[in-house]
Structure 1
Amino acid sequence: MGLDAPSLKLVGHGQFKRVNPNSDLFKVIKFHHIDWWCSDATSTQRRFGWGLGMQLVAKSDLSTGNSTFASYALKSNDLVFSFTAPYSTKVEKSKESKSPIPWYKADMALNFIAAHGLGVRSVGVLVEDAAEAHQKATAHGAVSVVEPVTLRDEASGTEQVVSEVNLYGDVVLRFVSGSYQGPYLAGYTAVESPPLSYGIQRLDHAVGNVHDLEKAVNYIARATGFHEFAEFTAEDVGTVDSGLNSMVLASNNERVLLPVNEPTFGTRRKSQIQTFLEQNEGPGLQHLALKTDDIFSTMRELRKRSSQGGFDFMPRASDAYYKNLPAKIGDVLTPEQYKQVQELGLLVDKDDQGVLLQIFTQPLSDRPTVFLEIIQRIGCMHERAEPASAVPPVMEQAGGCGGFGKGNFSELFKSIEDYERLLDIN
Structure 2
Amino acid sequence: MMNAHANLALAALAFPAHMPNSKSSHIRSRRTRRPLLPLTMAAHPPIRTNIGMSTHGSASGGGEQAGISSTDRFRMIDFHHVEFWCADAASAAARFSFGLGVPLAAESGLSTGNTAHASHLLHSRSGSLALLFSAPYAQGDAVTASVPSFDADAARRFTADHGLAVRAMAVRVPDAGEAFRTSVDAGARPSFAPAELGHGFELAEVQLYGDVVLRFVSHPDDTAIPFLPGFGSVPSSGATPDYGLTRFDHIVGDVPHLAPVAAYIAGFTGFHEFSRFTADQVGTAESSLNVVVLANNSENVLLTVVEPVHGTKRRSQVQTYLDHHGGPGVQHLAMASNDVLGTLRKIRGRSTMGGFELLPPPPASYYDDVRRRAGDVLSEAQIKGCQELGVRVDKDDHGGVVLQIFTKAAGDRPTLLLEFIQRIGCMDKDENGQEYQRGGCGGFGQGNVTELFKSIEDYEKSLDASARLAA
Q: Which structure dedicates a bigger proportion of its chain to strand? A: 1
**Is the Cα–Cα contact under 8 Å of residues 61 and 69 in structure 1 kept in the other structure?**
yes
Which whole-Å CA distance do the structure 2 matches of 1:371 and 1:102 have between them? 28
The amino acid that maps onto 2:110 is L
Per-residue CA deviations over 1:69-93 (Å, capped at 9, x if unaligned) read 11000111210110011112xx3x2
Q: CA deviation at 1:235?
A: 1.1
> Which one of the candidate residues 106, 117, 120 is aligned to 1:58?
106
> Which one of the candidate residues 177, 192, 202 is aligned to 2:218?
177
The amino acid that maps onto 2:129 is L
Q: CA deviation at 1:63?
A: 1.8
| Partner SS for 2:394 | strand
State the match for 1:106 in structure 2.
Answer: 152
| Partner SS for 2:266 | helix
1:221 equivalenced with 2:266 (yes/no)? yes
**Is the Cα–Cα contact under 8 Å of residues 63 and 272 in structure 2 kept in the other structure?**
no
> Normalising to structure 2: TM-score of the pair?
0.83
State the match for 2:378 in structure 1.
Answer: 333
1:320 equivalenced with 2:365 (yes/no)? yes
State the match for 1:144 in structure 2.
Answer: 190
**Is the Cα–Cα contact under 8 Å of residues 250 and 303 in structure 2 kept in the other structure?**
yes
**Is the Cα–Cα contact under 8 Å of residues 13 and 236 in structure 1 kept in the other structure?**
no
Mapping for residues 215-254 of structure 1, pairs under 5 Å = 215-254=260-299
State the match for 2:207 in structure 1.
Answer: 166
**Is the Cα–Cα contact under 8 Å of residues 10 and 247 in structure 1 kept in the other structure?**
no
Which whole-Å CA distance do the structure 2 matches of 1:247 and 1:42 have between them? 35
**Deviating runs (4+, > 6 A) in structure 1?**
none
CA separation of 1:241/1:299 partners in 2, compared to 1, >3 Å: closer, same or farther?
same
Q: CA deviation at 1:233?
A: 0.5
State the match for 2:119 in structure 1.
Answer: 71
| Partner SS for 2:353 | coil
Q: CA deviation at 1:13?
A: 4.7
Identity %: 48
Which whole-Å CA distance do the structure 1 matches of 2:358 and 2:392 have between them? 12
| Partner SS for 2:351 | coil
Which whole-Å CA distance do the structure 2 matches of 1:317 and 1:42 have between them? 35
**Is the Cα–Cα contact under 8 Å of residues 55 and 194 in structure 1 kept in the other structure?**
no
**Is the Cα–Cα contact under 8 Å of residues 286 and 314 in structure 2 kept in the other structure?**
yes
Per-residue CA deviations over 1:337-367 (Å, capped at 9, x if unaligned) read 1111111111100111200011100110000
CA separation of 1:349/1:62 partners in 2, compared to 1, >3 Å: closer, same or farther?
same
Which whole-Å CA distance do the structure 1 matches of 2:394 and 2:318 have between them? 22
Q: CA deviation at 1:323?
A: 2.6
Q: CA deviation at 1:94?
A: 4.9
State the match for 1:363 in structure 2.
Answer: 409
Which whole-Å CA distance do the structure 2 matches of 1:299 and 1:238 have between them? 27
Per-residue CA deviations over 1:32-72 (Å, capped at 9, x if unaligned) read 11111111111111111111111111111122222211100
| Partner SS for 1:418 | helix
**Is the Cα–Cα contact under 8 Å of residues 84 and 133 in structure 2 kept in the other structure?**
yes
| Partner SS for 1:28 | coil
CA separation of 1:139/1:106 partners in 2, compared to 1, >3 Å: closer, same or farther?
same
> Normalising to structure 1: TM-score of the pair?
0.92
Which whole-Å CA distance do the structure 2 matches of 1:173 and 1:269 have between them? 32
> Which one of the candidate residues 213, 235, 249 is aligned to 1:192?
235
Q: CA deviation at 1:14?
A: 3.8
Which whole-Å CA distance do the structure 2 matches of 1:340 and 1:102 have between them? 45
CA separation of 1:258/1:345 partners in 2, compared to 1, >3 Å: closer, same or farther?
same
The amino acid that maps onto 2:234 is V
**Is the Cα–Cα contact under 8 Å of residues 71 and 270 in structure 2 kept in the other structure?**
yes
| Partner SS for 1:125 | strand
State the match for 2:87 in structure 1.
Answer: 39
State the match for 1:155 in structure 2.
Answer: none
**Is the Cα–Cα contact under 8 Å of residues 292 and 304 in structure 2 kept in the other structure?**
yes
Q: Which runs of 5+ in 2 are unaligned?
A: 13-56
**Is the Cα–Cα contact under 8 Å of residues 196 and 202 in structure 2 kept in the other structure?**
yes
Which whole-Å CA distance do the structure 2 matches of 1:159 and 1:64 have between them? 20
The amino acid that maps onto 2:200 is E
1:205 equivalenced with 2:253 (yes/no)? no
